[in-house]
Structure 1
Amino acid sequence: MPQRQVGPFQVGAIGLGCMSLSHAYGQPPAAELGERLLLAALDGGVTLFDTAALYGFGANETLVGRVLKPHRRRFTLASKGGLAGVQTEEGMKRVIDGRPESIRRNCEDSLRRLQTDVIDLYYLHRWDKRVPVEESVGAMADLVRAGKVRALGLSEVSAATLRRAHAVHPIAAVQNEYSLWTRNPEIAMLDACRELGATFVAFSPVARGFLCDALHDVTALDAKDIRRHMPRFAPANYAANLMLLPAYRDLAGEAGCTPAQLALAWLLHKAPHIIPIPGTTRVDHLQENLGAAGVKLQAALMQRLEALINQNTVAGDRYSEQSNREVDTETFHEWRCSGS
Structure 2
Amino acid sequence: MKRRIGDRMVHPVGLGCMNIMHAYGPPADEGEAKALLVRALDIGCDFLDTATIYGLGRSEALIGEALGARRKEYFLASKCVLGFRDRERVLDGRPEAIKAACEASLKRLQTDVIDLYYLHRPDHKVPIEESAGAMADLIKEGKIRYYGLSEMGEEQLRRAHAVHPVAALQSEYSLWVRNPEIAVLEACRELGVALVAFSPVGRGFLADPPADPASFHATDMRRSMFPRFSDENYAGNLPLLDTARVVAAEAGCRVAQLAIAWTMAMGDHVLPIPGTRNIAHLEENHAAAGVRLTAEQVARLNAAFSPERAVGPRYSPAGQASVTTEMFDFEKRQHGG
**Uncovered stretches (5+) of structure 2, i.e. residues with no partner:** none
CA distance in 2, matches of 1:243, 1:184: 20
Alignment of 1:46-57 (within 5 A): 46-57=45-56
Task: Name the SS of the counterpart of 1:215 in structure 2.
Answer: coil
Counterpart among 132, 135, 156 of residue 137 in structure 1: 132
Q: Which amino acid aligns with 1:40?
A: R
User: Does 1:217 pair with 2:212?
Assistant: yes
Counterpart among 152, 158, 182 of residue 147 in structure 2: 152
Alignment of 1:168-183 (within 5 A): 168-183=163-178
CA distance in 1, matches of 2:221, 2:204: 12
Equivalent in the alignment of 2:306: 310
Task: Name the SS of the counterpart of 1:14 in structure 2.
Answer: coil
Alignment of 1:250-261 (within 5 A): 250-261=246-257
CA distance in 1, matches of 2:181, 2:43: 30
Equivalent in the alignment of 2:189: 194
Corresponding pairs, count: 332
CA distance in 1, matches of 2:235, 2:311: 9
TM-score (norm 2): 0.96
Alignment of 1:291-330 (within 5 A): 291-330=287-326
Equivalent in the alignment of 2:238: 242
Equivalent in the alignment of 1:118: 113
- 102-111 vs 207-216, greater mean Cα deviation: 207-216
Equivalent in the alignment of 2:63: 64
Contact in 2 for aligned 1:213/1:245 (Cα 8 Å): no
Task: Name the SS of the counterpart of 2:313 in structure 1.
Answer: coil
Deviation at 1:99, TM superposition (A): 0.8
% identical equivalent positions? 53
Task: Name the SS of the counterpart of 1:200 in structure 2.
Answer: strand
Equivalent in the alignment of 2:267: 271
CA distance in 2, matches of 1:115, 1:121: 15
Equivalent in the alignment of 1:27: 26
User: Does 1:205 pair with 2:236?
Assistant: no
Deviation at 1:335, TM superposition (A): 9.2
Q: Which amino acid aligns with 2:139?
A: V
Equivalent in the alignment of 2:76: 77
Q: Which amino acid aligns with 1:45?
A: G
Deviation at 1:246, TM superposition (A): 2.8
TM-score (norm 1): 0.95
- RMSD after superposition: 1.3
Equivalent in the alignment of 1:99: 94
Contact in 1 for aligned 2:243/2:301 (Cα 8 Å): no
